[in-house]
């Protein structure tokens, strides 16, 4: 993957070169056009190789293109920005297609048990001394308690084997779970994450949307982890 930092620096250098060509008496219209073309190609390459979970900053691209307007003109700039915006959305959608068939963790409290295996996740804003997961049935009764011990901040997957607190095996189906985390004797924020398989990707004005089966449709930005 092309480094975004490296590409941004290269883009900035091209902008400086572009403005220098405009101010220099010996500059020609052809050389400016060539530099513009190089600049746009660099941005397109940068977008094609961006991380779908960490896309390029639109404000950064807009800032770079605003500098380009000193030689291109406002009308051309607007047309170019629109084309770049469309390309970024399409590029994100194309990148997202690689997620089809993969599991993802998103915000949600549902956990589905099938043949002795259920996958979910927890999300902590800070490290915890101890983490406990409570799995409940449709009636709200606690079926199983999972002691996960100390956990670091961030996202951590969890797997439930269907064993209940009573020593039996729970029936296949969908359950609800909650997360309790403690740090130095105090309760801290902890979120439950539900698991789903990506079945399809739909392009949109605001970016790609993922079809995550029973979890519904979610934006790329809602994905906490790809499994």
- How do residues 53-96 score in pLDDT, each as one tens digit? 666 666 666 676 666 655 556 666 666 666 665 555 555 655 66
Q: Are residues 132 and 182 in the same domain?
A: yes
Residue 59: per-residue pLDDT:
67
Cα(167)–Cα(70) distance, integer angstroms: 73
- pLDDT tier, 21 (very low <50, low <70, confident <90, very high otherwise): low
Contacts of 155 (CB under 8 A, 6+ apart): 105, 121, 122, 123, 193, 224, 225
- Contact between 2 and 46 under an 8 Å Cβ cutoff? The reply is yes
Q: What is the CATH number of the domain that holds 152?
A: 2.60.40.4070
- pLDDT tier, 1 (very low <50, low <70, confident <90, very high otherwise): very low
Domain's final residue, options 75, 98, 121? 98
Domain's final residue, options 32, 63, 98? 98
Residue 90: per-residue pLDDT:
54
Q: Are residues 169 and 186 in the same domain?
A: yes
Cα(165)–Cα(133) distance, integer angstroms: 12
Q: Chain-wide mean pLDDT for the chain?
A: 80
Please say if the pLDDT value at position 225 is more than 80. yes
Among candidates 170, 154, 152, which has minimal Cα distance to 162? 170
CA 58 and chain centroid, separation: 15
What angle (nearest 5°) sits at the alpha carbon of residue 221, between those of residues 191 and 182? 15
Percent of residues, the chain, with pLDDT higher than 70: 63
Cα(136)–Cα(35) distance, integer angstroms: 62
Per the listing, tokens 């392009």 go with: 203
Residue 7: per-residue pLDDT:
45
What angle (nearest 5°) sits at the alpha carbon of residue 113, between those of residues 136 and 105? 90
Q: Are residues 91 and 116 in the same domain?
A: no
Contacts of 196 (CB under 8 A, 6+ apart): 103, 104, 106, 212, 213, 214, 215
Residue 17: per-residue pLDDT:
56
Percent of residues, the chain, with pLDDT higher than 90: 46
Residue 52: per-residue pLDDT:
65
Q: Are residues 221 and 115 in the same domain?
A: yes
Please say if the pLDDT value at position 111 is more than 80. yes
Q: What is the pLDDT of residues 126-160, one digit of tens each?
A: 999 999 999 999 999 999 999 999 999 999 999 99
Q: Are residues 218 and 115 in the same domain?
A: yes
Q: Are residues 127 and 207 in the same domain?
A: yes
Residue 33: per-residue pLDDT:
62
Q: Are residues 108 and 29 in the same domain?
A: no
Higher pLDDT pick, 98 / 119: 119
Q: What is the pLDDT of residues 22-47, one digit of tens each?
A: 555 444 455 556 666 777 777 777 76
Among candidates 96, 73, 111, which has minimal Cα distance to 220? 96
pTM given for the model: 0.61
Q: Are residues 73 and 132 in the same domain?
A: no
Domains of the chain: total: 2
**Which domain range does residue 15 map to?**
4-98
Q: Are residues 126 and 191 in the same domain?
A: yes
- The arithmetic mean of pLDDT across residues 187-195, rounded, is 97
Residue 44: per-residue pLDDT:
72
Domain's final residue, options 68, 98, 128? 98
What would you report as the CA-atom Rg of the chain, rounded to the nearest whole angstrom? 24
């Amino acid at each position: 993957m092309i480094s975004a930092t490296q590409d941004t620096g290269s883009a900035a250098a091209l902008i400086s070169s572009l403005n220098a060509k405009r101010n220099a008496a010996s500059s020609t219209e052809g050389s400016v056009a060539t530099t513009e073309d190089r600049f746009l190609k660099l941005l397109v390459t940068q977008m094609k190789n961006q991380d779908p979970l960490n896309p390029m900053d639109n404000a950064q691209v807009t800032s770079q293109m605003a500098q380009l307007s000193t030689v291109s003109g406002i009308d051309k700039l607007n047309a170019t920005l629109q084309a770049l915006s469309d390309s970024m959305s399409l590029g994100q959608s194309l990148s997202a297609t690689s997620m089809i068939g993969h599991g993802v963790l998103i915000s949600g409290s549902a956990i589905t048990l099938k043949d002795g295996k259920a996958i979910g996740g927890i999300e902590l804003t800070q490290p915890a001394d101890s983490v406990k997961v409570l799995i409940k049935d449709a009636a709200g009764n606690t079926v199983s308690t999972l002691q996960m011990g100390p956990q670091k901040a961030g996202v951590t997957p969890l797997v439930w084997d269907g064993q209940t607190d009573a020593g039996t095996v729970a029936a296949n189906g969908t359950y609800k779970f909650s997360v309790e985390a403690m740090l130095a004797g105090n309760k801290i924020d902890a979120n439950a994450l539900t698991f789903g398989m990506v079945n399809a990707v739909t392009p949109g004005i605001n970016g790609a949307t993922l079809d995550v089966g029973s979890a519904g449709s979610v934006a790329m930005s809602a994905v906490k982890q790809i499994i």
